[in-house]
Amino acid sequence: MEGFFSKSEVQSISRPDGKQLTCHSCGLYQNCKSPRFKPKGNFRKQILNIFDSPSFEDDKTGNFLQSKSGRLLTKTYKALGIDVMEDCLNMFSVACFSDSQPTNHNIDCCRRFVLSTIQERQPKVIVLFGNVPIQSVIGHRWRKELGAVQKWRGWTIPDQDFGCWVCPVFGADYVERSFGEFDKITAENTVWVNDLKQVVNLVV
């Protein structure tokens, strides 16, 4: 499958410790069916959703949000008046599937593609779904203890570097494991739903 990155991008820079920030150094592209996922979505409401990495189902099909938690997010956004593929642009912090949690090095290797997408597309709101996107977008600029998503969720951050709002929320995987079905999540009016409502309010 054709990747999102050009040859010159894939052969990019090194860190101060000498470790190369390249696809070759990361290596995840070698062991997945759909390497280097391209951002996808019509972006009509200028919401950029950033997820951690492709699920097994995403990787198998080459499409976003194919897992149970992905479908949960799609339904939850729809209930709030957002079509996830029409109104949003969707991308991963780490663009290749891995059967384990992405490492800091995986995140570092993909960060420049995340940042270039933000710069090129100029979103109104960036939604960071969980710890990995927070590390990708905020971690390299934050000089204190970064912490986990529990520290960041619920904030609508006016990011002066990007000229937009940044909204960290729980990842859909975490919510699906914690609450299960869509009807239970909306009925209980979870903090996840409230956080996503804040996102919607920023673009209406």
* CATH value at residue 49: 3.40.470.10
Confidence (pLDDT) at 178: 84
pLDDT band at 179 (very low <50, low <70, confident <90, very high): confident
pLDDT band at 10 (very low <50, low <70, confident <90, very high): very low
Mean pLDDT of the chain: 88
Residue 13: domain span = 7-201
Domain count, the chain: 1
Q: Enumerate the β-bridge partners of residue 169.
A: 129
Residue 85 falls inside a structural domain: yes
Q: Enumerate the β-bridge partners of residue 125.
A: 47, 165
3-state class (DSSP) for residue 196: helix
Residue 1 falls inside a structural domain: no
Confidence (pLDDT) at 182: 74
> Which are the contacts of 175, defined by CB distance < 8 A and separation ≥ 6?
69, 72, 185, 190, 192
pLDDT in tens, 83-125: 999 999 999 999 999 988 999 999 999 999 999 999 999 999 9
DSSP 189: T
Q: At what angle do helices 68-79 and 172-179 cross, to 10 degrees?
A: 90
State mean pLDDT over 19-48.
91
Q: At what angle do helices 68-79 and 191-201 cross, to 10 degrees?
A: 50
Residue 2 falls inside a structural domain: no
| pLDDT above 70 coverage of the chain, percent | 88
